[in-house]
Amino acid sequence: MKILYICALSMVVQSLFCMDEKIVPVGNVPVEHKFPGIAHLRDIGFVRENVIAVLGKAYHPVDEYVFVVRDIKNKNTIIEKRDKYMCSFAIQPNGKHIALKQSRKQNSLLTVFDAVNGEQVWDHQINYKGGSIVFCPEDFLRVALYEHMSDTLILYSQSGKQEIKIPITLMFNACLFAHHPTKKEISVNSEGGYSICSYDDKGCKAEKIKSNNTIVAGTSFVTGQSYNIDGSCIAMMTHDGGRYSIALVYENEVSYLNLENGRTCLSMLFHPNNKILLLLNTNQNFIECWDYKKIKCTMTIPLDYSLYLSFGCLEKRLAVSGDGKKLFVASSNKCIEVALSDDVLYGIQDAQSLICKILLLQHSGILPDIRLLIAQNLFNLYSALSDNNNS
């Protein structure tokens, strides 16, 4: 009955706008963006509309790294830094600031830039060389990193730093952590699994609130982890030397997404719609789109581009625009922009474009109240159809 109702409503809308043929969703036609001076892209991040941050190996000298923030529409470079010991960067969720960590032989350097005008806001000499950095989810400007040799969370701001001892024991070769998107809470890889700790920055103390040391086998190790958009799930990429799998950690359960047939994964990213987990497959150069709540691969996006392969931890090779409609992939020497179709976003393959119908409603001459009612019903019914297709 639900499907018949959907079809009937679609026929009504078609008859209103003379839509006799199916509307083809936006296709995955790639757009290439090159960054001057970079030979091999390693990491990529979305800053704001048309602005991308990348980190990669230089053409010359070959032992240097280049960090660039660039407006890909206007071809304007906002920030460019070169260094032999460039390590990682982080982007503030609102796109206003960018943090860059340069790991040198002596004192390393942490710098925060204004992502709009490219000016330096503040910097600090730091002793810690490895590992990732992340902006804390709060109004004022603060960057966190994890010092695994001493199990210490270090929070840097313009006024200085705070050190918070974390009550866990790490594997010797692990220094991976992720910060909750809204809470003062971190997840850190510990031996055999993970530990989640909340921290009090005012009292400079932390408390372990959850741990699990059995999510990976004895020969496995975690290569990276990430929270989803609301912090309700943590995806942990594990590798046992022969195959990859992803542990999906929820509040009261752990489920697993297994990559079969020897497939390997270089990068993973949660889509802002909080439904799709994107995986960059390095064996056959394609992106897998997983409905991670149902452990089901709903679509693959082929990439006819070579990837710059490196080994070690999970890398930031994927980025998604703020509206979730554009995917950016760091290939060997260029950034590939792919439009995400309705098939990917909603799991609808045969239904006509919901967005196009709603837009056409605005110019239909139908009374505003009726237009709103039709649009609401279309959205609800397409969502129901998406759930049916993915069940």
CB 149 within 8 A of CB 163: no
Query: Which residues, in sequence order, are bridge partners of residue 235?
Result: 226, 248
- What DSSP designation does 228 have? -
Residue 347: its pLDDT value, please? 58
Peptide bond into 181 cis (omega under 30): no
Q: Within the chain, what is the greatest distance between any pair of CA atoms? A: 71
Peptide bond into 36 cis (omega under 30): no
Question: Which residues have CB under 8 Å from 372's CB, separation 6+?
Answer: none
Look at 351 and 224; give whichever has higher pLDDT.
224
Look at 166 and 46; give whichever has higher pLDDT.
46
Least confident of 8-17, 153-162, 365-374: 8-17
- Dump the DSSP string for 304-345: -S------SS----EEE-TTS-EEEEE-SSSEEEEEPPHHHH
Residue 387: its pLDDT value, please? 53
CB 225 within 8 A of CB 237: yes
Provide, rounded to the nearest whole percent, the portion of the chain with pLDDT above 90: 31
Q: What is the pLDDT of residues 74-92, one digit of tens each?
A: 999 999 999 887 778 999 9
Average pLDDT over residues 263-269: 81
Query: Which residues, in sequence order, are bridge partners of residue 92?
Result: none
pLDDT at 376 over 90: no
What count of other Cβ atoms lies within 10 Å of the Cβ of residue 106?
8
Residue 258: its pLDDT value, please? 81
Q: What is the pLDDT of residues 161-212, one digit of tens each?
A: 999 988 876 554 455 789 999 999 999 877 667 889 999 988 788 998 888 8
Task: Give me 239's structure tokens.
Answer: 């590798």
- What DSSP designation does 275 have? S
